[in-house]
Amino acid sequence: MLFSSFEYLIVFLPIVLIGYHWLHARGWHESGYLWLTATSLVYYSYWNIRDLPILLASVTFNWYLGRVILATDKRWMKMSCLLGGIVIDFALLGYYKYAGFLVENLNAVTGSDLEFTKPILPLAISFFTFQQIAYLVDCYTGKGQVFAYIKYVLFVIFFPQFIAGPIVHHDEMMPQFEKKYQPGEMSTLFSLGMFRFSIGLFKKVILADTFSIWANAGYGAVDELTFATAWMTTLAYTLQLYFDFSGYSDMAIGSGLMFGIRLPENFNSPYRAVDIKDFWRRWHITLGRWLRDYLYIPLGGNRNGAVNMLFAITLTFVLGGLWHGASWNFVIWGGLHGLAYIVLWMWGLTALKMPNWTARIMTFFFIHLTWIFFRATTFSDAVFVIKTMLGWGSGNLNLFDGLELMPCGYEAIAAIAGGLGIVFLFSNSLKMEKSFHPNLKNLLLFLIATSAALIRLSFHDDFAEFLYFNF
């Protein structure tokens, strides 16, 4: 049930909202959150009900371990529960997501012929694994709290954020499950949520799904790419990925606001970053926060000298890349970002300065090139695309050569230019929210964005699933 589907827009979301606000209007707040929990389980089961026992087993296991860690005064017991929980959580994730990858590489290295039938990956396992490990670590360090089982389940599976983030933290969500809003306050949040949702719906359906046509066409015929179409393909994917994922995040945040629950921000104009560090403050903010707090800092961060810091940076980004999927391309993508961090650190040791506009351009093109490894099917495909973009090998430098091979090639050039203009020149959804008032102007923006998306959904069947559902 995609957020951009009619099932969600006109059936599921309205039913859940009506039930939730009806219960809260009568003062039955606990029943309202029980309703949210039950409907979130229905939402997850709609995708694949066979995954529900795995999810509930994981949630119950981590909730119980958290209670044990908080209840005991014995340090060895706390440590045993923490390590046991982390091992089992990662073992579950590893079996479903990485076991096949491990067997393939073991066969390639040793020449063996081990067989492994890859299981179907349970939806959202990467997200709920990270979320619950963070909770266990916080319980161990004294930052966690004991929560009622139903509230903990809701914290993990709250449907707006559950499938593809943002990755939420218990201390930013649990207080909201206890808060009681006044009617006027709730109506403001509801109207803001609808506005924010409409922005995300427009990004996804009108922008991301349009750019996906050219990205899929190019990456589906890598050997036929020319200099021009290679750039069109990769720029289309760079824009698709941003509008797709940030659009999903906007819809998730908007859905949450309609219930009076604010999810953390996940994007803040990342392609305007001046360096790689700035990029990760702006892109998938909640993942970057998790990697910093629960991997980089525990590895020593910058506290134990330069060598340890460089090691921690490299490992954090390599594992962060691997989190996205079982592929060497993701490892390379993460490693390149780690290398960029190290180069930035070394640059900081000098007295050299760079104009902001130069830094932004260089950062954008670095990010753009690394997305090729993120999207390409194989390493050799990624290398071929980059070589073609640089005019090496078979890359034809004629700016218009090969456009006939790209669907609506000349229209693609105009669309990509427009997409880049939106990314670099227009206010992002966070800035639009800060200046939001329930007035005629914003009502018109809401109606235009929503109507355009619904019209496209009604007459086109080429919309794609959210990209991060695959990760």
- To which residue do tokens 């509930």 refer? 56
Residue 356: C-alpha distances to residues 16, 214, 343, 361, 369 (Å): 47, 31, 17, 9, 20
How far, in whole angstroms, is CA 387 from its chain's centroid? 29
State phi, psi for 465 to the nearest 5 degrees.
-65, 160
Residue 35: C-alpha distances to residues 30, 67, 186, 255 (Å): 9, 24, 18, 15
Nearest-angstrom CA–CA distance, 146 and 139: 9
SS3 265: coil
As given in the structure block, the two tokens for residue 219 are 């990456």
Q: Contact, 155 vs 167, CB < 8 A?
A: no
Neighbours of 383 (CB within 10 A): 15
Cis (ω within 30 of 0) for the bond into 166?
Answer: yes
Instruction: Give the CA-trace dihedral at 454, 455, 457, 462, to 10 degrees.
Output: -150
What's the chain's Rg over C-alpha atoms?
23
What is the amino acid identity at position 324? H
Cis (ω within 30 of 0) for the bond into 175?
Answer: no
Q: Contact, 197 vs 259, CB < 8 A?
A: no
Catalytic residues: 324
Nearest-angstrom CA–CA distance, 186 and 189: 5
